[in-house]
Structure 1
Amino acid sequence: MQSTTDNDLECLDVRKHFGTVRAVDDVSFEIPKGSFFSILGPSGCGKTTLMRMIAGFETPSSGDIRIKGKSVIGTPPNRRNVKMVFQHLALFPMMNVYENIAYGLRCAGASKDVIRTKVHDVLERISLPDVANREISQLSGGQKQRIAIARCMVLDPDVLLLDEPLGALDLKLREAMKIELKLLQHQFDTTFVYITHDQSEALVMSDNVAIMNEGKFVQIGTPQELYHNPAAAFVAGFVGDTNRWAGKVTRVEGDTVEVATEAGLTMRGSVRGGTSPSVGDAVNAFVRPEFITATRAGGGAQSGADGGNLIEGKIDSILFNGANSRVLVRDGAGELIEADVVLTGGPEDLKPKDDVTLNWSAAQTMSFKT
């Protein structure tokens, strides 16, 4: 990867070893100016270690980290123009809002006039112009989030790092803050690097997302690319809800394979991940619940034009979520298959114990060679 000042942040072949453990293993990526970039992965995948190296709290075992095209290896955290919002925010409870935001400016030796102007300006930009004199304990959870961001942004960082800052919020506030963070990122036009294990946060807010597992980046792409065109079985299973079957290839027709699953089902799927499976190869097959149509048995369901999949089953239970709900269907082999349905509250709605036909196309089944 060639360095360019068009990027706010670059990591080049970065590794971090703790003894024999490879916490971060040969990670390279670049983030253009003004982007919202998320690193998404399960706990223990190395994303926090990577962020700490970017912030300067850890030193890479090898590789380079560049801010605005300049290497920061060996540069201490307080000398990097990178700021960090921690999961628990770390606001100072003994200081009011104004003093919290002004703290970094005071440490940098800014004059009182400059501090006053910058603090009030950043409070306006986060839409909290009237809270300067409030105590931290008087703020709501969402207001605390914005103050923590303002305390960083008042210092005009090149990159803002966010370490799962929504983890401590309740569900409703967390949903609201996803939108709020995206709007704030546009407002400040600053590069945000966000780490999370919550896929909904990453998919909703990000321009690009890196999927991380076992210290490596598995795939980088837009949320749409990761969801619809995963490059590996791990991405298909980790991003979004999905049904998964393990099986073996029994037939190959171009980019379409027929798979006999371990549960005894036969289904057709599209080949993904750049592999060319042969008859007898082990594969994992995935299909998302929203791609499966569920109709009452005998309701006239037809296979897709590409020779799709038809499976008979019985509704085991219904997970109600308003109009967009989900049925859990137990097939003839006793396996549960999830399918999304629209419930209107009328007598035509599917109900538990109904016999149903599940229908989806081969193109919507993502098959990966193991």
Structure 2
Amino acid sequence: MQSMTENDLATTDNDLECVQVRKHFGSVRAVDDVSFEIPKGSFFSILGPSGCGKTTLMRMIAGFESPTSGDIRIKGNSVIGTPPNKRNVKMVFQHLALFPMMNVYENIAYGLRCAGVSKEVIRTKVHDVLERISLPDVANREISQLSGGQKQRIAIARCMVLDPDVLLLDEPLGALDLKLREAMKIELKLLQHQFDTTFVYITHDQSEALVMSDNVAIMNQGKFVQIGTPQELYHNPSAAFVAGFVGDTNRWAGKVTRVENGAVEVATEAGLTMRGSVRGTGTPAVGDTVSAFVRPEFISAEKTGASDKPVDPAHNVINGKVDSILFNGANSRVLVRDGAGELIEADVVLTGSTQDLKPKDNVTLSWSPEQTMCFKA
């Protein structure tokens, strides 16, 4: 999915479109020229660090803030100047905002009652949406009697009973404990398929965005840095910020000592020499500063001298000493100090020659140059 121009967007048929949207607070550009489209029935996440502008963007889509310039379209129609209650957009907040003085039925029915819907239609719609979220028997329960996951589903049901074109979710898993949060990632994805409604989800938690989303926008300093599928962002980041923000990675800064056919040789500030592939825009020249990234799962770790098989001479090789091992079942994270004291992370399966790996063991790390992503600084 690519950012679009105003002319492109004029011919599309999407649930949500933003065209060159900006929001300035004095001299602060909270949202700076953001354009994107979301096709019907998509799960779209906006992922970025705190303060990057994602909540401001969502508030503009919902109608709680007005853009300084640009256009926002729901189903192809501009909603600039349309108040929140007149937009067919609903929002689930981080703390859910369920009414504690009302039971489940009354919470879900509230929006329909405000819209003047008859009692018979309300009853049918509420019971239908409770069936769809797999909670058909909780209509008469008090909110205080629900688990965290049930409250989450009721908050979504309260929105979905109104048949919105777009459902906005503002970090709704942030208040849940870790185990429930992991379960709700799957639950939210299943609910989105069940309702076939466009979900727009904002978060600073990359695991949430990568697990649930069809497409993810990486946002930083008010701008979208890259939009793509989770796989594209992870394996083919377009910028150093994306490479460092999405997934775990080792990072080195250094200068280019050689350039050849899209590959570079880099001398790092820590005194290492490694080869890598050029990513992003702009091919670096000899002497240019670059950032080099390699993900822990691409690094092979062996006890030094434990294998008779020589390391591939084309691979990058670093010798070091095990600092610690973070056990995680089948795959564990090994933290290795190189000769300069830099910490390098590698994922290994603790079997064979590595099954009795322990701190202070000497190890040899190696990986393919193709797995080293180099970005011009």
The normalised TM-score by structure 1 is: 0.98
- Say whether residues 1:163 and 2:173 are aligned partners: no
* SS state at 2:126 partner: helix
* SS state at 1:94 partner: coil
What residue is the counterpart of 1:197 in the other structure?
204
* SS state at 2:347 partner: strand
User: 1:187-266 alignment to 2 at 5 Å?
Assistant: 187-266=194-273
Once the two structures are TM-superposed, the CA of residue 348 in structure 1 deviates from its matched residue by 3.2
**Aligned to 1:40, which of 47, 62, 72?**
47
User: 1:282-361 alignment to 2 at 5 Å?
Assistant: 282-298=289-305, 299-300=307-308, 302-304=310-312, 307-344=314-351, 348-361=355-368
User: 1:178-189 alignment to 2 at 5 Å?
Assistant: 178-189=185-196
**Aligned to 2:279, which of 240, 251, 272?**
272
What residue is the counterpart of 1:67 in the other structure?
74
Moved more, 160-169 or 347-356: 347-356
**Compared with structure 1, are the counterparts of its residues 340 and 33 closer, same or farther at alpha carbon in structure 2 (3 Å cutoff)?**
same
- Say whether residues 1:17 and 2:40 are aligned partners: no
What residue is the counterpart of 1:6 in the other structure?
13
* SS state at 2:72 partner: strand
What residue is the counterpart of 1:93 in the other structure?
100
- Say whether residues 1:130 and 2:127 are aligned partners: no
Within 1, Cα distance between the matches of 2:132 and 2:369?
Answer: 49
Q: Is contact 2:217-2:224 (8 Å) kept?
A: yes
What residue is the counterpart of 2:369 in the other structure?
362
Moved more, 341-350 or 141-150: 341-350
Deviations 1:22-61 (A, max 9, x none): 0000000000000000000000000000000000000000
Within 2, Cα distance between the matches of 1:21 and 1:102?
Answer: 40
Within 1, Cα distance between the matches of 2:330 and 2:31?
Answer: 42
**Compared with structure 1, are the counterparts of its residues 152 and 276 closer, same or farther at alpha carbon in structure 2 (3 Å cutoff)?**
same
Within 2, Cα distance between the matches of 1:239 and 1:309?
Answer: 23
* SS state at 2:359 partner: coil
Matched residue type, 1:90: A
Matched residue type, 1:198: D
Unaligned runs of 5+ in 1: none
Once the two structures are TM-superposed, the CA of residue 349 in structure 1 deviates from its matched residue by 3.0
Within 2, Cα distance between the matches of 1:25 and 1:108?
Answer: 36
**Compared with structure 1, are the counterparts of its residues 262 and 347 closer, same or farther at alpha carbon in structure 2 (3 Å cutoff)?**
closer
* SS state at 1:7 partner: coil
Number of residue pairs matched by the alignment: 369
Matched residue type, 1:324: N
- Say whether residues 1:106 and 2:108 are aligned partners: no
Matched residue type, 1:39: I
The normalised TM-score by structure 2 is: 0.96
User: 1:45-60 alignment to 2 at 5 Å?
Assistant: 45-60=52-67
Deviations 1:212-234 (A, max 9, x none): 00000000000000000000000
Once the two structures are TM-superposed, the CA of residue 203 in structure 1 deviates from its matched residue by 0.1
Deviations 1:216-253 (A, max 9, x none): 00000000000000000000000000000000000111
Moved more, 336-345 or 254-263: 336-345
Within 1, Cα distance between the matches of 2:345 and 2:271?
Answer: 17
Within 2, Cα distance between the matches of 1:91 and 1:368?
Answer: 46
**Compared with structure 1, are the counterparts of its residues 247 and 159 closer, same or farther at alpha carbon in structure 2 (3 Å cutoff)?**
same
Matched residue type, 1:295: E
Deviations 1:191-213 (A, max 9, x none): 00000000000000000000000
* SS state at 1:165 partner: coil
Once the two structures are TM-superposed, the CA of residue 3 in structure 1 deviates from its matched residue by 2.6
**Aligned to 1:121, which of 103, 128, 142?**
128
Report the identity percentage. Answer: 87
Once the two structures are TM-superposed, the CA of residue 333 in structure 1 deviates from its matched residue by 1.0
Once the two structures are TM-superposed, the CA of residue 351 in structure 1 deviates from its matched residue by 1.3
Moved more, 207-216 or 317-326: 317-326
Flag as ranges the 4+ runs of structure 1 deviating above 2 A: 1-6, 299-305, 343-349
**Compared with structure 1, are the counterparts of its residues 4 and 185 closer, same or farther at alpha carbon in structure 2 (3 Å cutoff)?**
farther
Once the two structures are TM-superposed, the CA of residue 302 in structure 1 deviates from its matched residue by 4.3
Unaligned runs of 5+ in 2: none
Once the two structures are TM-superposed, the CA of residue 353 in structure 1 deviates from its matched residue by 1.1
Q: Is contact 2:303-2:353 (8 Å) kept?
A: no
Within 2, Cα distance between the matches of 1:134 and 1:342?
Answer: 48
Within 1, Cα distance between the matches of 2:21 and 2:254?
Answer: 36
Once the two structures are TM-superposed, the CA of residue 108 in structure 1 deviates from its matched residue by 0.3
Within 1, Cα distance between the matches of 2:312 and 2:224?
Answer: 35
Once the two structures are TM-superposed, the CA of residue 324 in structure 1 deviates from its matched residue by 1.2
Within 2, Cα distance between the matches of 1:202 and 1:301?
Answer: 40
